[in-house]
Amino acid sequence: MLRTVRATRYVVPLREGGSLPAIVEADDLGLYVVKFRGAGQGILALIAELLAGDIGRALGLRVPEIVLMEIGAALGRNEPDYEIRQLLQASTGVNLALDYLPGSTMFDPAARDAAPADEASMMVWFDAYTQNIDRTPRNANLLVWHRDLYPIDQGAALFFHHDWPSREKKIASPFAEIEQHVLLPWAKEIAAAAQIAHERLTEPVLRRIVELVPDEWLEAIPGDVGVPERRAGYLDFFVRRLDGSAVFEEEAIRAQSRLV
Ligand SMILES: Nc1ncnc2c1ncn2[C@@H]1O[C@H](COP(=O)(O)OP(=O)(O)OP(=O)(O)O)[C@@H](O)[C@H]1O
Ligand SMILES: [Mg+2]
């Protein structure tokens, strides 16, 4: 189960452009980074963030807690900034939020950040499995907090869902993009990570994760794929990609060995 909180105060935008994520306070007095359903990336980015993020958590990676956040029509009403007011008004309903990690910094190899081999290997396996291209040295989407690594921003994963019929083809993708992964230099134990991943991602676990996606998000996707069909499609993707994981594991191991 995911917790649901209610937004009480828009605190500050995280940065210009992009999906305009923001820090928002909720009725449990927590601070969260919110991915707004009304942002340009649309509802599919929230679904990817939830599905891939929860898979990351099931794999033992430190994805910050994911919660659903209710935004009411009143929240944006008094925002002085027009763009933010528009975004909040377009986002009434259920949004996705991650626990805010105050004082965290972005992982940066150029600043001599490093990662343990087992964790780097699991992160590489995770991003190859969920087909996330957004973990590059230029944009690591990996926070360092109290010296530990926290993957954030899984919104670009599961790219197939932007073109639903491409799912069939994407299930068996070797995911050559893994060669750009920021943690690849440390990922010397991919085979061992794969074994652990297979133990943790059982079908009941994957099924439970797919069931976490709110109906109202699946209903909001344009097109004629029904909600049960979508849910079944995601589960089918995860189960079959796991069954055929050798193809992307071998690709990642090859890419890693080319580095040394
Ligand atoms: N849980 C968090 N705790 C602290 N800071 C965060 C958290 N999540 C995101 N941030 C900060 O906010 C920035 C934007 O977040 P995020 O990468 O999730 O948004 P985005 O719009 O998808 O960005 P982009 O697509 O440009 O990578 C991050 O680079 C990071 O600095
Ligand atoms: Mg990002």
- Is the minimum distance from the CB of 38 to ligand 1 under 6 angstroms? no
Burial of 25 per CB tally in 10 Å (0-12, 13-18, 19+): middle
What mean pLDDT comes out for the span 96-110? Answer: 97
Half-sphere exposure of 159 (CA within 13 A, CB side): 13
Q: Which of the residue ranges 73-82, 101-110, 201-210 would you say has the lowest mean pLDDT?
A: 73-82
Q: Is the pLDDT of residue 40 over 60?
A: yes
Enumerate residues 6+ apart whose C-beta is below 8 A from 231.
210, 211, 213, 218
Enumerate residues 6+ apart whose C-beta is below 8 A from 20.
13, 14, 36, 39, 83, 84, 87
pLDDT at 18: 73
What's the pTM value of the predicted model, to 2 decimals?
0.97
Q: Is the pLDDT of residue 17 over 60?
A: no
The two tokens of residue 96 are: 């996705």
The two tokens of residue 119 are: 């964790």
- List residues, by chain if needed, whose CB lies under 5 Å from ion ligand 2: 141, 153
Q: Is the pLDDT of residue 113 over 90?
A: yes
pLDDT at 193: 98
CA distance linking residue 141 with residue 120, whole number of Å: 14
101, 134, 153, best to mutate for ligand 1 pocket (most atoms within 8 Å of CB) = 153
pLDDT at 25: 98
pLDDT at 214: 98
Ligand 1 centre and the CA of 139: distance in Å?
10
DSSP-H helix ranges across the chain: 43-58, 82-89, 117-129, 167-170, 190-200, 203-210, 215-219, 227-243, 246-259
Contact 33, 69 (CB under 8 A): no
What mean pLDDT comes out for the span 83-92? Answer: 95
Q: Which of the residue ranges 5-19, 58-72, 188-202 would you say has the lowest mean pLDDT?
A: 5-19
Reported as a single tens digit per residue, the pLDDT across 185-206 is: 999 999 999 999 999 999 999 9
What mean pLDDT comes out for the span 111-130? Answer: 98
Domain segments of the chain as ranges = 4-99, 105-259
Q: Which of the residue ranges 10-19, 83-92, 236-245 would you say has the lowest mean pLDDT?
A: 10-19
Please tell me the number of the ligand nearest to residue 153's CA. 1
Query: CA nearest 201: which of 142, 122, 117, 141?
Result: 122
Which atom from ligand 1 is nearest to the alpha carbon of 99?
Answer: 1
Given pLDDT bands bounded at 50, 70 and 90, which one contains residue 9? very high
107, 139, 152, 182, best to mutate for ligand 1 pocket (most atoms within 8 Å of CB) = 152
CA distance linking residue 228 with residue 236, whole number of Å: 12
* Integer CA distances (angstroms), 164 to 54, 58, 221, in order: 21, 25, 11
Half-sphere exposure of 178 (CA within 13 A, CB side): 33
- Is the minimum distance from the CB of 40 to ligand 1 under 6 angstroms? no
Residue-wise DSSP of 140-194: --EEEETTEEEE---TT--GGGGSGGGHHHHTT---GGGGG-TTGGG---HHHHH
Q: What is the mean pLDDT of the chain?
A: 96
Q: DSSP label at 109?
A: G
pLDDT at 16: 58
pLDDT at 41: 86
The two tokens of residue 19 are: 């999906």
Ligand 2 centre and the CA of 148: distance in Å?
18
